[in-house]
Amino acid sequence: MKKIFLALLLAVGCSSILFGQKSKEPNGFSDYDEYKNGTPSLTFDFQLKQRTGGDIFMVGGIANYKIRKVNPVADTEKIEYEIWGIRVGGVDYINSYPYSKLKGYNKIEGKGYYSYFIGEPARAEKEQRELGIIKPNEKQIAVCCQTGYVILPTGKVLNLKPELLLELCKDNEDIIDEIKAAKLRLEDVYKMFEILEKYNLSKE
């Protein structure tokens, strides 16, 4: 009986949320500029699958999104490894492979002067250094779980840290005072997102 219950629990836990995307309208961003301007130029037929608890328990990672059932199959490599991102149901997702060398897509949580999202930390030293997870003189570190990322106006993706947040908002004294008073920690991702959203509004 216990084995049956466990099998049912895993079956439910491994289930996924699917978003079908067979579109005649462009739904793929070839680069950051297309995303920034809201003008996807590529059209693909695929399913976007959100990973759930059971899947993560079995193989690791975070609750991000993966591409499934690409038609034609020949488009799979382009979608998984090359393009900047996709738009599904009016929501934008960034391809994690170009900046982290990890397959998957992450939902853009906020868009403006700065965009931001939750993603899986890069594991390789080169990508960790480029993303600001480690400093130029530091060695590769073990990472786990999820982290916050910010997309700069240039399109560069960086690991969001309190010290970086101060630098990004340095021209707004009120927000700088708020950041200092908040005594933010690395794990305070959503609080940092709230501050970035406030900063974005000040730039409109």
Whole-number Å distance between alpha carbons of 139 and 81 = 26
State the first-to-last Cα distance of the chain, in angstroms, to the nearest integer: 60
Q: Which residue has the higher pLDDT, 144 or 139?
A: 139
Q: How much is the average pLDDT of 188-202? A: 97
pLDDT at 10: 40
pLDDT at 107 over 50: yes
Q: How much is the average pLDDT of 75-90? A: 97
Q: How much is the average pLDDT of 164-188? A: 97
Q: Tokens representing 94?
A: 């960034």
Averaged confidence pLDDT in the chain: 87
Whole-model pTM: value is: 0.86
Percentage of the chain exceeding pLDDT 90: 76
| Structure-token match 């030293």, residue found | 125
Q: Which residue has the higher pLDDT, 7 or 89?
A: 89
Whole-number Å distance between alpha carbons of 183 and 2 = 47
